[in-house]
Amino acid sequence: MTGHTPDELMIVCMAREVQNGDLMAQGLTTPMAIVAYHLARATHAPQATIMQLAGNILIYTIEPPPVSILYNEFRAMENAVHVSTQTEVYETLFKRARSIIEFFRPAQVDKFGNTNNSLIRTSRSRLRLPGGFGIPDVSPLYPRSVYYCPRHERRVFVDRVDYVGGLGITAAMASGERRVIHIISEFGVFRIEPEKGRMSISSIHPGVTLETIKENTGFEILIPEEITETKPPTDLELRLIREKIDPLNIRHLEMLSGEERTRALLELLDKEVALYKTTPAPEKESD
């Protein structure tokens, strides 16, 4: 299987950040994250557990259910062993912060790893975004964070975020605590660590030049002496993504915006209704 798409490569990079045994928390509106979680489970992290839908529903499943837009909650519930109240979600995050992995998608990220999903200021106006939800709460608690940015542009990779929602490494730089933020974009994988003090390149995706990254980043990135190329997806990874985990290509919605996304979504929805009706529900344990 050849010819991966940018979103497939990003998903593979995201899945590789999952460690076996992790608790994988899914926030709002993140189909790429859920595809990456299922991929990690199906490959190197079979003992990772999913907390889906803003951390509410704890799922144990060997056979990943196909990723869904329309039946996200229904599929999660079919495979759930527990449903948390909101306080229980945070009790889990606080107790298990060291082994939780959660993929955030920031609207803006700066060189220190601060994130913004709240508002964009321009010289003339302000754009109100949905809000950071739980990101500002938990970002400093995770020793290991992963952000993903399908669009690597200067308006996303900014020198300073317009609004500090999620916290980057500034506090860790002062206190000396260990923290690493991995950032996966359409062009490469990057990392932010207190020791280096700002964003650096981990690897560049095949076919992408250093110039492209520099041109599309709103600040100076640290460039290592030897630049490594991102390992492309394997045949197995691609087959799992395309045939098992996300046969409807829901992942691609995150690469689109505006009317383009709406059109793609409408095409998907009818297929989803048909697929859901024909997929058998997972077998329940009987007494």
Partner 1 sequence: MPGNALKSEGVITLSAHRVHEEAEHHMRPKLLSLKEASEMIGNGQYVAIGGLTIHRKPMSMIHELIRTRRKELRLLVFGGGPDVDLLAAVGAVGSVEAAYVGFEILGLAPNFRKAVESGKIRFTEHTEYSIMAGLLATAFEAEFIPSKLLIGTDVLKGLGYKTFKSPLTDELLVAYPRIKPDVAVLHAQKCDEYGNTQVEGVIAIDLLLAKASRKVIVTAEKIVPVEDMKVPAETNLPSNFVDAVVESPFGAHPTSCYPHYTYDLWHMISYIESSRNGKMEDYLQKYVRGVNSFESYLAQVGENAIKRVKVQER
Give residues in contact with partner 1 (CB under 8 A).
28-29, 31, 53-54, 56-57, 69-71, 73-74, 77, 83-87, 89-90, 118, 125-137, 140, 163-167, 170-171, 253, 257-258, 261-262, 265-266, 269, 273, 276-277, 279-281
Instruction: Name the DSSP letter for residue 47.
Output: T
Question: Shortest gap between Cβ of 111 and partner 1 (angstroms)?
Answer: 16
Decide whether 112 or 190 has the Cβ nearer to partner 1.
112
Decide whether 137 or 153 has the Cβ nearer to partner 1.
137
Structure token digits, residue 2: 């050849």
Question: Shortest gap between Cβ of 245 and partner 1 (angstroms)?
Answer: 17
Q: What is the Cα–Cα distance from 138 to 226, expressed in whole angstroms?
A: 34
Cross-strand pairs, 149: 185
Question: Shortest gap between Cβ of 160 and partner 1 (angstroms)?
Answer: 12
Question: Shortest gap between Cβ of 150 and partner 1 (angstroms)?
Answer: 13
Decide whether 23 or 201 has the Cβ nearer to partner 1.
23
Q: Can you point out the beta strands (E) in the chain?
A: 23-25, 49-52, 57-59, 80-83, 100-104, 108-109, 115-116, 119-121, 126-128, 144-149, 180-185, 188-192, 199-204
Q: What is the Cα–Cα distance from 220 to 98, expressed in whole angstroms?
A: 30
User: Between β-strands 180-185 and 144-149, what pairing exists: parallel, antiparallel or unpaired?
Assistant: parallel
Q: At CA 74, angle to CA 73 and CA 78, rounded to 5?
A: 115
Decide whether 221 or 256 has the Cβ nearer to partner 1.
256
Question: Shortest gap between Cβ of 68 and partner 1 (angstroms)?
Answer: 9
Decide whether 31 or 233 has the Cβ nearer to partner 1.
31
